[in-house]
């Protein structure tokens, strides 16, 4: 049954999910900080709201589902709770579902070992620590008010416009090798599928890892992308000596494999792209089809 969803931060993931709901007959609002994105949101059926800027109180009062995609600020914490905590508390009794998008960075570094939702949180970066604090703040509000909170810890997100192909075509792709490094990933369409499954089967208090079945070293992903494009595989660069920005280097501070059994067992999710190879091949096929159209 269609409902009314307010998405805080209708960026890459929020826009894909909101567009899917709109196609199914939902009323969907979505916030953005950037005025130039308002028209794009409207074009996929999302009623755009500029925030900060507009008063979100009417949308909060009308919505029966909420999704929070906004990242916390390392200094000031979660922006939704900072600006709208009282409104969230007032809305809690009538909300049917609230989703909070977190990250697997909350688990920290496990030297390539496996983690699941019961693994103790030990973030290794300021961004990870900010996510742990944001999760705790939302959980505290849920405990106080009965807010039907669901937390989704997302692995590295890829999808249309977020693949390696543009850099490979431009000759700027890099294949950084750090021995033992491994990441988990998730296609944005599969994130939307997981969220929709949770909306259909709400279980307040639940926490779900959202990732595919195939954690892999980043250099292998880049090499596969090059091969399917028929391009040379970029040369390997040693992480220890590679010139990288502090932000890029920080992504290599953690190495782990993330288990996704719970989304399958509890939500009945069947991933459309269970491996990075399946996801990349579908993206490339779609790009070629769009180019030929």
Give every CB contact of residue 95 below 8 A, 6+ residues apart in sequence: 63, 64, 65, 66, 147, 148
- Give alpha helix (H) positions in 27-149: 38-43, 57-62, 79-91, 126-145
Q: Is position 281 within any domain?
A: no
Give the tens place of pLDDT for each residue, 48-60.
999 999 999 999 9
In a domain, 141, yes or no: yes
Backbone angles phi, psi at 47, to 5 degrees: -75, 115
Instruction: Give the bridge partners for 237, in sequence order.
Output: 176
**Residue 196: closest CA among 12, 23, 11, 9:** 23
In a domain, 98, yes or no: yes
pLDDT tens, position by position, 189-221: 999 999 999 999 999 999 999 999 999 999 999
Question: Does residue 220 sit within a domain?
Answer: no
- The answer to whether residues 146 and 93 touch, using CB atoms and an 8 Å cutoff, is yes
Asked if residue 8 is part of any domain, the answer here is: yes
| Three-state secondary-structure class, residue 209 | strand
Q: What's the pLDDT band for 290 if we cut at 50, 70, 90?
A: confident
Q: How confident is the model at residue 248 (pLDDT cuts 50, 70, 90)?
A: confident
| pLDDT at res. 88 | 94
Question: Can you give the residue range of the structural domain that contains 91?
Answer: 4-162+185-213+258-274
Specify if 290 maps to a domain: no
Q: Are strands 97-103 and 149-154 parallel, antiparallel or unpaired?
A: parallel
What integer pLDDT is reported at residue 129 of this predicted model?
95
Count structural domains, the chain.
Answer: 1
CATH number at residue 156: 3.40.50.720
DSSP, residue by residue, 138-198: HHHHHHHH---EEEEEE-EEEBTTBSSHHHHHHT---EEE-TT--B-EEEHHHHHHHHHHH
User: What's the whole-number mean pLDDT along residues 1-21?
Assistant: 95
Q: Rounded to the nearest 10 degrees, what angle do helices 188-200 and 12-23 cross at?
A: 50
Strands 175-177 and 27-32: unpaired
pLDDT-derived band at 1 (thresholds 50, 70, 90) equals low
Residue 107 phi/psi, 5° resolution?
-85, -20
């Amino acid at each position: 049954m269609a409902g009314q969803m307010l998405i805080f931060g209708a960026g890459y993931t929020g826009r894909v999910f909101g567009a899917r709901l709109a196609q199914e007959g939902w009323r969907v609002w979505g916030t953005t900080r950037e005025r130039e994105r308002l028209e794009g949101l409207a074009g996929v059926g999302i009623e755009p709201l500029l925030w900060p800027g507009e008063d979100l109180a009417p949308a909060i009062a009308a919505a029966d589902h909420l999704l929070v995609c906004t990242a916390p600020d390392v200094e000031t914490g979660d922006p939704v709770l900072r600006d709208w905590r009282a409104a969230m508390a007032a809305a809690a009794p009538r909300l049917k579902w609230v989703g909070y998008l977190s990250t697997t960075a909350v688990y920290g570094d496990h030297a390539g070992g496996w983690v699941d939702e019961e693994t103790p949180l030990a973030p290794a970066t300021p961004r990870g620590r900010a996510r742990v604090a944001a999760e705790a703040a939302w959980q505290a509000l849920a405990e106080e008010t009965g807010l039907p909170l669901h937390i989704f810890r997302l692995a590295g997100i890829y999808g249309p416009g977020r693949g390696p192909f543009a850099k490979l075509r431009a000759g700027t792709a890099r294949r950084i090798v750090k021995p033992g490094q491994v990441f988990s990933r998730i296609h944005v369409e599969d994130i939307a599928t997981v969220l929709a499954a949770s909306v259909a089967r709400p279980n307040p208090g639940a926490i779900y890892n959202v990732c595919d079945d195939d954690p892999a070293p980043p250099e292998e992903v880049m090499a596969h992308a090059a091969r399917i494009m028929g391009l040379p595989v970029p040369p390997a660069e040693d992480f220890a000596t590679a010139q990288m920005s502090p932000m890029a280097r920080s992504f290599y501070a953690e190495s782990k494999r993330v288990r996704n059994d719970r989304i399958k067992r509890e939500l009945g999710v069947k991933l459309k792209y269970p491996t990075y190879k399946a996801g990349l091949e579908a993206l490339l096929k779609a790009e070629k089809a769009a180019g030929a159209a």
